Amino acid sequence: MEIGKILLTENECYKYGQKIKPIGIVVHSTGAPNTELRRYIAPDDGIIGKNQYGNHWNQFRPNGRQVCVHGFIGTDKNGVIRAYQTLPWTMRGWHAGSGPKGSANDGYLSFEICEDTLNSKTYAVNTYNMAVDLCAYLKKLYPAIKYENIIGHNEAAAKGIASNHGDPEHWWRKFGLSMAQFRKDVKKKVEDNMADKTRFSDVPKSHWAYDEIENLAKKGIISGFSGTKLFKPNLPLSRQQAAKMIALSAGLVASNLIDLDKSNAYPNEYIIALERAGVIGGYSTDKGKEFRPLDNTKRAHLAKMVVLAFKLKKGSKVINFDDKTNEQDQEYIDILASLGIVDGYEENGKKLFKPYTDVTRAQAAKIIDLAMKIK
Ligand SMILES: [Zn+2]
């Protein structure tokens, strides 16, 4: 998650600078109808906006009080809900006061959720969800934090380790939210974060084309093999697969003809779209032109399709391939190279493009994703 950071270094608590080893978290809400982070946090980082009244907490004793927390959740100057860190996580905060059994300040992290007028379910739920994210983040940072020690100020008071306050459940219960559910939601979030989020099991984050494959998969331009989590990055790409990827990524609209067989995994509409756009010409034969949809796509042919589909113009980079091909195919390869989309292979001191070897699925994904970004 994204957490802003403005430490309240002028606050007496910060200057006091005691340390803790976090074992729990106390969730607070401010008890005042003002969602703006700048009410409490200063100076302005350009995102939260400037506090015009000088009543923020980045001063020795705000409003004469000895009070400081590790973070806030509230709105920035544009009304966007954000989380901010305001004390080092291992610094002892002044947030819980004390009860008959001591003080949760000893060992508990703390944050305030800025309240609104307590009438908006949307604001309550959105800030609750961000609080879940923040606690999951802190739990990962400090595994010694126990779920049962993620408590509301009101619960800390009931345990005898905080002053007698009702936050945040006095607010949450209006909308069916509770600390008991909050702890479950934090646990689930931590588990979800740890779960393998890789889309394709054979394309781990370390794969050289991970970003490009992920980008195209997110846009629905590529998908894995049905019923599996496999992308098979090293398999060759058939010409009909290439046609589909290029038509979708370049936004070339297929035809509206109703007699096209769209039930086919690779309906002809993509091939027709490319032909109409002048991206493909096919192979000339005695009987006419053939597209040969099931053949593997050659690297030179993918280069041609990509240059034409995205209408790419020559860039500034110069790469001279040693394995030059015919003038026409070479022009397309050189355009891709000049834009930094391909750089070929280094072999025995030679720079090779290998124009008539099969392009792999991963190579095609990389080339097409980069071409989309240039376009
Ligand atoms: Zn509180």
Q: How far, in Å, from the CA of 292 to the mean position of ligand 1?
A: 70
Q: Which helix (H) or strand (E) holds 85?
A: strand 81-85
Say if residues 131 and 30 touch (Cβ distance below 8 Å): no
Q: What is the mean pLDDT of the chain?
A: 93
Is pLDDT above 80 for 116?
A: yes
Is pLDDT above 90 for 192?
A: no
Residue with more model confidence, 226 or 98: 98
The set of residues, in sequence order, having a beta carbon less than 8 Å from that of 348 and lying 6+ positions away, is: none
Q: How far, in Å, from the CA of 249 to the mean position of ligand 1?
A: 51
Strand order across the beta sheet in which 108-113 lies: 3-5, 81-85, 71-75, 108-113, 24-29, 150-152
Calculate mean pLDDT across residues 179-198: 87
Calculate mean pLDDT across residues 332-358: 95
For residue 2 the two structure tokens come to: 């994204």
Confidence tier at 1 by pLDDT (50, 70, 90): confident
Q: How far, in Å, from the CA of 286 to the mean position of ligand 1?
A: 84
**3-class SS of residue 54:** coil
Confidence tier at 258 by pLDDT (50, 70, 90): low
pLDDT 10s digits, 296-307: 999 999 999 999
Per domain, the residue ranges of the chain are 3-195, 210-374
Say if strands 283-285 and 81-85 run parallel, antiparallel, or are unpaired.
Answer: unpaired
**3-class SS of residue 104:** coil
pLDDT of residue 265: 59
Say if residues 174 and 122 touch (Cβ distance below 8 Å): no
pLDDT 10s digits, 152-164: 999 999 999 999 9
Q: How far, in Å, from the CA of 21 to the mean position of ligand 1?
A: 20
What is the C-alpha separation between 211 and 218, in angstroms, rounded?
10
Say if residues 5 and 84 touch (Cβ distance below 8 Å): yes
pLDDT of residue 274: 92
Residue 102 has, within 13 A of its CA and on its CB side, a CA count of 5
DSSP label of 359 = P
pLDDT of residue 122: 94
pLDDT 10s digits, 341-352: 999 999 999 999
Say if residues 216 and 224 touch (Cβ distance below 8 Å): no
Q: How far, in Å, from the CA of 278 to the mean position of ligand 1?
A: 67
Confidence tier at 74 by pLDDT (50, 70, 90): very high
What is the radius of gyration, based on Cα positions, of the chain? 29
Confidence tier at 200 by pLDDT (50, 70, 90): very high
For residue 219 the two structure tokens come to: 């846009």
Q: How far, in Å, from the CA of 103 to the mean position of ligand 1?
A: 13
Calculate mean pLDDT across residues 98-118: 97
Q: Calculate what percentage of the chain has a pLDDT beyond 70.
A: 95
Is pLDDT above 90 for 209?
A: yes
pLDDT of residue 262: 57
Q: Calculate what percentage of the chain has a pLDDT beyond 90.
A: 81
What is the C-alpha separation between 265 and 272, in angstroms, rounded?
15
pLDDT of residue 230: 93
Instruction: Give the CA distances from residue 253 to residues 97, 149, 150, in Å, rounded to whole numbers and listed in that order.
Output: 65, 56, 53
What is the C-alpha separation between 69 and 51, in angstroms, rounded?
18
Residue given tokens 């030179």 in the structure block: 300
Calculate mean pLDDT across residues 177-206: 88
Strand partners, 73: 83, 113
The set of residues, in sequence order, having a beta carbon less than 8 Å from that of 221 and lying 6+ positions away, is: 245, 248, 249, 368
pLDDT 10s digits, 51-60: 999 999 999 9
CATH superfamily of 3-195: Peptidoglycan recognition protein-like (3.40.80.10)
Mean pLDDT lowest among 74-78, 170-174, 287-291, 330-334: 287-291
DSSP label of 260 = S
**3-class SS of residue 160:** coil
Q: How far, in Å, from the CA of 111 to the mean position of ligand 1?
A: 9
Q: How far, in Å, from the CA of 70 to the mean position of ligand 1?
A: 12
Q: How far, in Å, from the CA of 156 to the mean position of ligand 1?
A: 9
Q: How far, in Å, from the CA of 69 to the mean position of ligand 1?
A: 10
Residue with more model confidence, 102 or 288: 102
3-state secondary structure 174-204: HHCCCHHHHHHHHHHHHHHHHCCCCCCCCCC
Strand partners, 244: none
Q: How far, in Å, from the CA of 112 to the mean position of ligand 1?
A: 7
